[in-house]
Amino acid sequence: MIRAVRGIVGGLVVAAGGVATAWLSAAPIRPVLGGRAVVRLVWSGRPERIDECRRLTDAELEAVPAHMRLRVKCEGRTVPYALRVVVGDREVFLDTLRGGGARHDRPIHLFQDIALDPGEHRVRITVERLDSAAAAVTADSLPIEGTNAVGGREGREAEERARARREALPPRLVLDQRLRIEAGAVVLVRYDPDRKALWFDPGG
């Protein structure tokens, strides 16, 4: 090949490589949610815990290593919740929410995008406790003994359980509202732990 032609063709090949690189460096991807109207459920909350509690005898307590002694021994589980999203009269999402962690005893963390057509919709979101077990038998109804092997610890344990109960999700949450969502917009559904209520956050 003549030198000049070789130079030109070589230059063209390099230029084509450059253009291809630049193109692949900015070629569009189209996310599946792209351009839809998105309701994003994003919140965390503690699932309610149902405990069966019993006070250990002094002898039982002695058998436990000192640093692990709890006067009141509770065995329990956290309850699952049903999450339903209904748009208009169509159920678009149904799921069972459980606490995180292997034993489901951690908070529920929810992050779920639901894509709708842009426009105005009536959106109804319910979170309902699935476990209908009778009110938990808790140790807090048991009389607290003033002094025992672990001193004031029993009181602290009871307080801890009470706090967990206060922070737990209520048995039923409902958010029912008309919403206008533009194409490509996201409206968050968040949980306010103080009011114990769900709310729409359109951001911005």
Residues of this chain that interact with other proteins (CB under 8 A) are: 1, 6, 9-10, 13-14, 18-19, 21-22, 24-36, 38, 40, 42-44, 100-102, 106-107, 109, 111, 183-188, 190, 201-204
Name the token pair of 99: 């606490």
> Rg for the chain (alpha carbons), in Å?
29
Virtual CA dihedral for 26, 27, 30, 31, nearest 10 degrees? -40
Q: What is the largest CA-CA distance in the chain?
A: 103
d(CA 41, CA 122): 16
Please say which residue, 115 or 149, places its beta carbon nearer to other proteins: 115
d(CA 17, CA 203): 42
Phi, psi of 37 (to 5 degrees): -105, 125
DSSP code per residue over 125-143: EEEEE---PPSPB-GGGSP
d(CA 84, CA 189): 13
CB of 43 to other proteins, least distance (A): 7
CB of 158 to other proteins, least distance (A): 25
CB of 37 to other proteins, least distance (A): 9
CB of 144 to other proteins, least distance (A): 32
CB of 196 to other proteins, least distance (A): 17
Q: Are 61 and 68 in contact (CB under 8 A)?
A: no
Please say which residue, 56 or 175, places its beta carbon nearer to other proteins: 175
Please say which residue, 6 or 172, places its beta carbon nearer to other proteins: 6
Please say which residue, 33 or 137, places its beta carbon nearer to other proteins: 33
Please say which residue, 175 or 187, places its beta carbon nearer to other proteins: 187
